[in-house]
Structure 1
Amino acid sequence: MSSILIKSATVVNEGRQFITDILVKDGFIERIDAQIDAAADTEINAEGLHLLPGCIDDQVHFREPGLTHKATIFTESRAAVAGGITSFMEMPNTVPNTLTQQLLADKYDIASRNSLANYSFFMGAGNDNLDEVLRTDARNVCGIKVFMGSSTGNMLVDNPVTLDQLFAESPMLIATHCEDEATIKHNLAIAKKQYGENIPVTMHPVIRNEEACYLSSSLAVELAKKHGTRLHILHISTEKETHLFDNNIPLKDKKITAEACVHHLWFSDADYETKGNLIKWNPAVKTAADREGILKAVLDDRIDVIATDHAPHTIEEKAQPYLQAPSGGPLVQHALPAMLELYHQGKITLEQITQKMAHNVVDCFRIEKRGYIREGYWADLVLVDLNNPWTVDKGNILYQCGWSPFEGTQFTSSVQSTIVSGNLVWNKGTFVNNHLAGQRMTFKAL
């Protein structure tokens, strides 16, 4: 494994900025010092650039196995690395659904052979696989995923007894997708009466509305409090939900945490007119007031983590009428540039971006030796140029699906270099030998 010497980087880490040199050796950060004079296989002049801990995305759908016409672990981890995301946690609604320990092991095997980024995979919970769920190794698996709303596939957990048992007996973090299915079905029936089969996409946030989200999220919080469960609620999409969470408890002591996604911090329901199904996600992108409320909760620490819910579909699938078009979109390549754009707009600081996209993910999931720029930690690092504008277009999109909801957007900042587990993988717009640097993440027990 090669050594890397980074010179004169402006480091953004643990709430402060400072200029320093960093020596990377055998996969780890060996030394952080104002001046390091040491031989290294690669030397990077980082003067004028900002060095952040690599982003850790706690919610992606990389589609492998079973849906590889949309994406693969190789293609999407490649796009993630180019966007400064060095680690990901992938969801169980692949085909077949990841509902057994063997199917979970199969995904780890695929990643070990194909991932450019570090990886972990959620074990899926269903209505009838509690025994399998309870066999999950908390040291080597990021968590249990529970769909409390049938976003995709057949993984809806709607049996109250099963839900209660999951929350009571899970030895590890439970991550939830929270939307109340009965409310959604009721709203959809009303929309069909009005529009027939030609429902416009502008109805998406009306069908999957605030009530559907809040009913389900509040139920998850209630169950977690009842059983003392470690709960992490994914992709909060309404301002109302943000009040379910506490900012008076240090993150290390929180039992209930929450995530915001980039699309809910960027788009609003006004964008359906121009973006259409390209911004059709579950939960839905809602009002500008919801967007601002979510950002406020990110800034005041009611919401702990920023992620993507990267979920690619082909452009042909997205071009179908609203009822047939699947929900989800690709984001991992553009998440960090989008958040850095919000920094340029004065809405968030670099220190807060680093906290929400790296430090806090580590603290929420208790990931070992990642997410911070510290001696002895894995060298997962991203160098960004805050003043190197570029525009998203077909020619620079790396997702297998070939499109992005950000097409036509100019970002002020660009990712210059990405180091994964001590390996330089992305540098100045090109991949360095497509190096399969990704390592399986490990976790401290709860």
Structure 2
Amino acid sequence: MSVLDKQLVPIFEEVLDRNPGEAEFHQAVREVLESLGPVVTKHPQYADSAVIRRLCEPERQIIFRVPWVTDSGKIEVNRGFRVEFNSALGPYKGGLRFHPSVNLGIVKFLGFEQIFKNSLTGLPIGGGKGGSDFDPKGRSDAEVMRFCQSFMTELYRHLGEYTDVPAGDIGVGGREIGYMFGQYKRITNRYESGTMTGKGLSWGGSQVRTEATGYGTVFFVDEMLKASGADFGGKRVVVSGSGNVAIYAIEKVHQLGGTVVACSDSGGYVVDPGGIDLALLKEVKDERRGRISEYAALRQGATHVTDGSIWDVPCDIALPCATQNELDADGAAALIRNGCAIVAEGANMPTTPNAARLLAEADVMFAPAKAVNAGGVATSALEMQQNASRDSWTFDHTQDRLAEIMQGIHDRCLETADEYGTPGSYVAGANIAGFTRVADAMLALGVI
């Protein structure tokens, strides 16, 4: 773990004292603070104005009860969250996650990351995040609908196209967005399509939004390869996960000439030396809502592995696209032994601090989530633009805008890293570039 600048130690200690038991949030804050030493030395106004302390405290934290009724008539009670973290650059923007692991600390870590991710896009959006400990797996469409309607019956009062604009995340796809937006429209009696993103194409959604996080991840890695004089041609890639982000990362890697040889879910991972058959994977995961083991049973030459780690699979590029802290020190060591050259975070904070340290020491190119997976929220902002102008863009136009934004983020990271004396560090570049834009806006707005 890196040593914090002495000016930042009291700030981190305050975060620990005020937010006990929120390990993921502590990890996210420290990861940013570790990069800010050169910034507060060069620009003392950031420390003198308490802007960093203010950034670490959400503007608003909302926790509420979500009662709903199962198909059998049983009453269930879940907990809902929305952390509206920072609105210096625009309305709060960030997804909703439905998963049993969701708690306030998880939502705060995600919301804190979202501030800097959204800042890096260069678009006018602030940072927020939300969700519930509800698990949609195994639930009928009717049960999911009743849960979503109950969830939105409370959350709607905090939302609006100029206030807070949620989207999807783990466990929240087009089905859930549809049910929640329908309830928002019903309660407010207004068709404010800009209040939620990730909507269906026939009712205000944007082309490429479904693919955006996965595509954006690969666009960023493509820029990393170009910066070192290479491309995806002939590269072996491992992608953890098999959800939305992973599927479209796999698709774009194949389009750019690479081969994804492994992907995973919570039950294990699949190795497919010939390259993942994307059509079959989509059929298993999207149409059947099945497990990755079904893919291996249907695909000749593929192997399903239930022990060990997907990071044991030799590759040139690793894309952790599943969940937080999935790539630990053992996984990083395996990637290094097998000659992996690039690790880029498609999920939110999927690499543990010890793993990140090992990768840095081995000179593996490592790019953090707040830069790499910003494509999803960037395309959400493009969806907001289209809704505001009552317009609809083509797939190619939107994809070109996404690629342009990801290139801009990549270049901004490297330029900022150079400026602050950490050449080639995507982590430092992303943290500092994301921070300075938000901090400057906060200073301009006064003590708020």
TMscore range, shorter length: under 0.3
Higher relative strand content = 1
State the TM-score, normalizing by the size of structure 2. 0.27
State the TM-score, normalizing by the size of structure 1. 0.27
Higher relative helix content = 2
